[in-house]
Amino acid sequence: MNTIGRHFRLTTFGESHGAAIGGVIDGCPSNLAIDFQLIESELRRRATAMNEFSSQRNEVDKVKFLSGILDGVTLGTPIAFMVENTDAKPEDYAELEHVFRPSHADFTYQAKYGIRDYRGGGRASARTTLPIVVAGAIAKQILSEKGIVIQAYVKQIGTAAMGAHSDKEAADLMSQQMESAKKEGDTLGGVIGCCIHNAPAGLGEPMFDKLQARLAYAMFSIPSVKGFEYGDGFAMAGMKGSECNDEFCVKDGKIRTRTNHSGGIQGGISNGEDIVFNVALKPIPSIKKPQNTVTDEGKDTSINIEGRHDVCALPRAVVLVESLAALVVADLI
């Protein structure tokens, strides 16, 4: 329920406005020298208050490791860590205690548990993704020793997409759209692209643990994710087999494919080419525009959501996509 992975496993805990959030990593190899600066830099990539379009919640995000590391080196035992919540403002959510926010997890959590933490969404908040970045940074170190590199990037925000324009034009359009949405009290979604370089052939299982299934499972744990595709994805539905088949050839003495429409995965198993996928995120549902809803007693009401929220989550979610991909690949390796 709160765990991802089998051999390299992460269990997370905490709520958005609780005392702390954190996790336990099990299955990390021993004698791995931890790069703490890498962990800090990765956390800065998902940090709030970094620009005018991100949440202005200003957390220090200082990781405290409780076990599993001695003199900067892993012991092979569980690595427990925590980050205190120092800038929580639960009073911002007092008026929402009995109101279900549209497209949030308020109603579904109440339906499932009979109780919910209304302070910033509790367990459903993006704040709880921080432990994924910590574990992902450690997984990246394991993979880097094998030459595996994971790179994600913002591919589209709103209707502005990379590739349709020059990089600068696309970046300017994205910025303009976020500025417009902010003025209107609205939010934007988009697409994050990701590429896993130098992964060996043979990762993934042939049936229910296909590599793309494991990646999709991980990506859908990110709040607001609504779509996943790998390779040419949905575009392949409109192609002919002769257009999307990846022919084999020999390059530098190795069996390779001439094209990569399959996104580096065939039969659910990596083929040694770059593993390429896209993740689509919906707009963040916390908007300042008036919305109609109901209370937990079923009474009609309307709300204007205040507080500190992102205009667009994509810039901060890039490191999450990389981290989860690293957890999946490290687990399979």
- Sorted by where each begins, the domain ranges of the chain are 3-332
pLDDT tens for each residue of 119-176: 888 899 999 999 999 999 999 999 999 999 999 999 999 988 887 677 788 888 989 9
Taking the mean position of all CA atoms in its chain, how far away is CA 56?
A: 20
| HSE, side-chain direction, 13 A CA sphere, residue 138 | 32
pLDDT tens for each residue of 16-52: 999 999 999 999 999 999 999 999 999 999 987 566 6
pLDDT average, residue stretch 206-225: 96
Q: What is the CA radius of gyration of the chain?
A: 21
Nearest-angstrom CA–CA distance, 228 and 214 = 11
Percent of the chain beyond pLDDT 70? 95
Q: How confident is the model at residue 73 (pLDDT cuts 50, 70, 90)?
A: very high
Q: How confident is the model at residue 310 (pLDDT cuts 50, 70, 90)?
A: confident
Stated length of the chain: 333
Identify which has the larger pLDDT, 163 or 85: 85
In what helix (H) or strand (E) does residue 20 lie, and over which residues does it extend? strand 20-26
What integer best gives the mean pLDDT of the chain?
93
pLDDT average, residue stretch 227-242: 97
Q: Which CATH number fits domain 3-332: 3.40.30.10, 3.30.70.141, 3.60.150.10, 3.40.50.410?
A: 3.60.150.10
Residue 195 has which token pair? 């590429």
| HSE, side-chain direction, 13 A CA sphere, residue 184 | 9
Q: What is the dihedral of CA 221, 225, 227, 229, to 10 degrees?
A: -60
Q: Among 52-61, 118-127, 193-202, 287-296, which stretch is predicted with the lowest mean pLDDT? A: 52-61
Nearest-angstrom CA–CA distance, 62 and 27 = 23
Identify which has the larger pLDDT, 61 or 270: 270
Short-list 329, 290, 310, CA closest to 129: 310
Identify which has the larger pLDDT, 88 or 213: 213
Taking the mean position of all CA atoms in its chain, how far away is CA 201?
A: 25
Q: What is the largest CA-CA distance in the chain?
A: 70
Q: How confident is the model at residue 53 (pLDDT cuts 50, 70, 90)?
A: low
Identify which has the larger pLDDT, 174 or 194: 194
Report the amino acid identity of residue 13.
Answer: F
Residue 40 has which token pair? 């800090």
Nearest-angstrom CA–CA distance, 87 and 114 = 28
pLDDT score, position 181 = 92
Percent of the chain beyond pLDDT 90? 80
Is 323:201 a contact under the CB 8 Å cutoff?
no
**Is it the case that residue 56 has pLDDT exceeding 70?**
no
Residue 132 has which token pair? 């994924």
In what helix (H) or strand (E) does residue 280 lie, and over which residues does it extend? strand 275-281
In what helix (H) or strand (E) does residue 314 lie, and over which residues does it extend? helix 314-332
